[in-house]
Amino acid sequence: MAEILSQSQIDELLDNLSSGDVNIQELEVNEKKIKEYDFRSPKKITKETIKLLKGIYENYCRMITSQLTSMLRLTCDVTVEQVEESIFHEYNNALDDYVLMGLIDVKYPDNTASDSQILMEISKPLSFVIIDRLLGGEGKEYEHMRDYTDIELSLLNNMLKGLVKLMGSTWESTLEIETELSKLETNSRFVQSINYNDTVVIIVLNVTLNQSSGKITLCVPSTILDEIFKKANIISKVGSKKSDQSIEEQKNAIMGSIKSSKLTITGILGKADATLYDIVNMQAGDLIVLDKNISSDVDVNIDNVKWFEGKWGTRKNKGVIKINKIIH
């Protein structure tokens, strides 16, 4: 509830306004800022997913930094510049008609392939620096923008295959997928693997080669993300069930192995003390007096540990012990 001013406070405020000691603009109430939301293009990617993708592709940046450095023999640095959600037609319309774009197939652990594809677009200045270095140059920027020749496309295709293959390994913490370069496309309008109104995640990588810099832009459809998270969830559930089953199987195997172990059972009728002289001079027919009566229970030891007590007797001309009491 807003604070109610007293009459004296109101009079003091009016006096200050009339004298000019108080600025009316300072007394204006700050309106609460409202963030506009476009219901025609609702957000489908959560902040947690954006954060996860940023972590995955930061790891990917470290891997392709090493790959490009060893391949081009130049100091290379690749960083994640931006990760944001967009609509495919907005991303596609922002591209030039003639680009260098790789179409990447995604294969899941169950040997099924995604219907959509990940797009990797490399800026022309960066691609010509790479071409110059691969052909033995110093890796300088090319001033004239033109179309690619067949030889240049072949060189870039081989280079991109190595970069694309590394992408699948960066997803191991979520799901073991395989990524493979399907083909190169130089006209962005010919890309048909993603629907016009599909939600995509745009990941912009900043690449620095010597004094030159450029961009690698990845376009990941939300359908691929949904499939990855769904399959990862299924695999985790199946894995937990298998782990529970394996623990139970191991337990049963251990108990089965223990149950089949052979132990020595000894029935002790009684004990007696004797000197070494008595034992050395003992003859057949001598009697050993035990410390138990004839009606006393017989101790039954399992590997020298007393487990049972029982009565001595015979059965089928063999000595037996009937268990009467369980000790252990």
Task: Work out the angle at residue 232's Cα, subtended by the Cα atoms of residues 197 and 191, and round it to the nearest 5 degrees.
Answer: 30
H/E stretch holding 68 reads helix 47-72
Give tens-digit pLDDT for 130-185: 888 888 888 777 777 778 889 989 999 999 998 999 998 888 888 888 899 998 98
Q: Strand pairing of 118-122 and 212-221? A: antiparallel
CA-to-CA distance for 299 and 270, rounded, in angstroms? 8
Token pair for 317: 């001309």
At residue 219, the pLDDT reads 93
Task: Say if residues 88 and 194 touch (Cβ distance below 8 Å).
Answer: yes
For CATH 2.30.330.10, the residue range(s) in the chain are: 265-326
* Fold of the CATH domain 47-236: Chemotaxis protein chec (3.40.1550)
CA-to-CA distance for 94 and 99, rounded, in angstroms? 11
At residue 1, the pLDDT reads 42
Q: What is the CA radius of gyration of the chain?
A: 41
Average confidence (pLDDT) over 78-88:
91
Q: Strand pairing of 76-87 and 118-122? A: unpaired
CA-to-CA distance for 245 and 303, rounded, in angstroms? 34
- CATH class entry, domain 265-326: mainly beta
Residue 37 has pLDDT above 70, yes or no: no
What DSSP state is assigned to residue 285?
Answer: T
Task: Say if residues 107 and 131 touch (Cβ distance below 8 Å).
Answer: no
Task: Work out the angle at residue 285's Cα, subtended by the Cα atoms of residues 284 and 286, and round it to the nearest 5 degrees.
Answer: 95
The better pLDDT of the pair 31, 48 is held by 48
For CATH 3.40.1550.10, the residue range(s) in the chain are: 47-236
Output the CA torsion 165→170→172→177 (10° steps).
-40
At residue 271, the pLDDT reads 84
Output the CA torsion 298→302→303→306 (10° steps).
-60
Residue 29 has pLDDT above 60, yes or no: no
